Amino acid sequence: MSQPLILLAALLLDAAMGEPEALWSRLPHPAVLMGRAVGWADRQMNHGAGRVVTGAVALAGLVALAWGLGMVLGWFGWVVEVVVAAILLAQRSLVEHVDGVADALHLSLADGQAAVGRIVGRDTAGMGREDVARAAIESAAENLSDGVVAPAFWFLLLGLPGLMAYKMVNTADSMIGYRTPEHEAFGKAAARLDDVLNWVPARLTALIIHLVRPRRGGWQVIRRDAPLHRSPNAGWPEAAMAVVLGVALSGPRSYDGAQRDYPFVNPDGARRIGPAEIDAAVSVLWRVWAGIAGLILVIAVV
């Protein structure tokens, strides 16, 4: 079976099955195993002088391990490739988590804060309804790029080894790619390589979001506001989601008790938002998924 058809089958399987709790309550998820590998490297190698180089060496070893495992798994045939790729895609689980915030916010602000706290790293205790909705929509946009478009992109280009390597880098960035005294040096290679690997997928995600729900002059606003984001990549899907929904995203928020006055993306958009806008974002997630699946089918046929 061709790579595009394997990817299409994986997208359909992920959309249908998601993350079966009965399975992952008994077995460690591959992302968890990758996290354990990154944690081991962090404990064993993040010390002494020259931690930028040590971190780069550790990352190279982790990527080589993921690439090699992807090659070995590929030897077992296309069925295994479909299953593994589906596990490493995150469309269904992303939709369920974001949709869960809307459902919780319908119940109460406290329920909404608790639900969004499971998918974002910022402080949630002082959030209002608008803040909860904004955080959920931002998470939807960013994770659409990192968890669906980028894995599909790298699988299409480099097969299962490419997908496995990408997920390892993305996992490493999420664990050690922070500008903290502990990880700024050791995690620098992970953060930079993650930026490189997501450069094209982030912009591709923004383009697909724009195409599946176009707004007049929307692409110009996306290009204008995406660079306002603190991340070189996350601003693109977030700006696109903000424009197509007609809402303002990013903006001030609190991390570890410290207020960060980030600028708004699409600042003219609505700021009094709630569950309805989260539901609209979920609809966009499915439209993008359908667009990707249709594009891959065309590639497979051609």
b/e map 65-90, b = 16+ CB within 10 Å: ebbebbeebbeeeeeebbbbbbbbbb
pLDDT (0 to 100) of residue 12: 96
**Residue 258 pLDDT greater than 80, yes or no:** no
At residue 265, the 3 state secondary structure works out as strand
- Whole-number mean pLDDT of the chain? 93
Residue 236 and residue 225: Cα distance in Å, rounded? 8
Rg (C-alpha) for the chain, rounded Å, is 19
pLDDT (0 to 100) of residue 252: 84
253 — pLDDT class (breaks 50, 70, 90): confident
106 — pLDDT class (breaks 50, 70, 90): very high
**Residue 82 pLDDT greater than 80, yes or no:** yes
**Residue 145 pLDDT greater than 80, yes or no:** yes
Q: Is the dihedral of CA 188, 192, 194, 195 positive or negative?
A: positive
**Which helix (H) or strand (E) is 218 found in, with range?**
helix 218-225
pLDDT (0 to 100) of residue 9: 96
- Domain residue limits, the chain: 3-301
261 — pLDDT class (breaks 50, 70, 90): confident
